[in-house]
Amino acid sequence: MTDGPLVLVIDDEIQIRRLLRISLETNGYRVHETARGVDGLAEAARLRPDLVVLDLGLPDLDGLEVLRRLREWTQVPVLVLSVRASEEEKIALLDAGADDYLTKPFGVGELLARLRTAARHNQPAGESPVIEIGSLRVDLEKRRVWRDDVAVTLSNTEYSLLRLFVRHAGKVLTHSQILREVWGPGYAEEVHYLRVYVANLRKKIEQDPGNPTLLMTEPGVGYRLTTDPS
């Protein structure tokens, strides 16, 4: 059996999956297939593939949503396949984190060339969707949070805020950066709004919200999720 790069194919068309398997295995790749977006997300977390080939027209989730969820925790190279070919569609996919885009029908030679290019952007070894910092554990693939092994319930906004901090753990994020990322450009100056949500988040993830050891304030600048809580 080949020990080449592992490609996860997420496509509901059995003929396309068959074509991809034959073409890729002939050229030294290993292939794992799934026909549904939800299954593809789970398999990406389980298998940690070297590359993902993603169709947009899936039966359960739109491919763009699958891509966005992948990008919440991994930078694995993603090559999108679709019959959709509009410029707006391609821009949306690239903005959402796709490495490349190939329109169906496609030639095998071009597919292989684009996969080789995407592979140069491969993720760091050992990247995991589960992040543990002190008593805090966050599963970015399943969108679940625990403190001291007890499940924590967060609102959508609180989770988006925590996910941003986790993905940039150890780095100072300015007030305006956080507001733009979580709420959008129109909120870039609403610092008081951010303070309310940080206070609420601390109540749920800190042992002592009044004396935080995880989510630290950088006075006059922003916040930082520490990687070494004391």
CATH of the domain at 214: 1.10.10.10
Number of structural domains found in the chain = 2
Residues 201-214: pLDDT tens digits? Answer: 999 999 999 999 99
Instruction: Tell me: do 106 and 154 sit in the same domain.
Output: no
Residue 2: pLDDT over 70: no
Domain-embedded: residue 124: no
Q: φ and ψ at 179, to 5 degrees?
A: -60, -40
Domain-embedded: residue 25: yes
Mark which of 99, 119, 139 sits at the end of a domain.
119
Instruction: Tell me: do 37 and 96 sit in the same domain.
Output: yes
Share of the chain above pLDDT 70, in %: 95
Q: At 52, which CATH number?
A: 3.40.50.2300
Mean pLDDT of the chain: 88
Mark which of 67, 88, 119 sits at the end of a domain.
119
Which pLDDT does position 100 carry in this prediction?
A: 84
* Per-residue pLDDT band at 121 (split at 50, 70, 90): low
Which pLDDT does position 123 carry in this prediction?
A: 45
Domain around 198: 130-225
Share of the chain above pLDDT 90, in %: 52
- Find the helix or strand (DSSP H, E) in which 199 lies: helix 191-205
Domain-embedded: residue 230: no
Instruction: Tell me: do 75 and 138 sit in the same domain.
Output: no
Which pLDDT does position 189 carry in this prediction?
A: 83
Domain-embedded: residue 81: yes
Mark which of 77, 99, 119 sits at the end of a domain.
119
CA dist., res. 57 & res. 19, Å (int): 17
Domain-embedded: residue 220: yes
Residues 56-83: pLDDT tens digits? Answer: 889 999 999 999 899 888 889 999 998 8
Which pLDDT does position 94 carry in this prediction?
A: 78
Residues 5-49: pLDDT tens digits? Answer: 999 999 999 999 999 999 999 999 999 999 999 999 999 989 999
Sign of the C-alpha dihedral, residues 211, 213, 218, 223?
negative
Domain-embedded: residue 94: yes
Residue 124: pLDDT over 60: no
Domain-embedded: residue 149: yes
Domain-embedded: residue 154: yes
- Tell me: cis bond preceding 209? Omega within 30 of 0 counts: no
Which pLDDT does position 127 carry in this prediction?
A: 60
Instruction: Tell me: do 60 and 100 sit in the same domain.
Output: yes
Residue 125: pLDDT over 60: no
Instruction: Tell me: do 151 and 203 sit in the same domain.
Output: yes
Instruction: Tell me: do 113 and 183 sit in the same domain.
Output: no
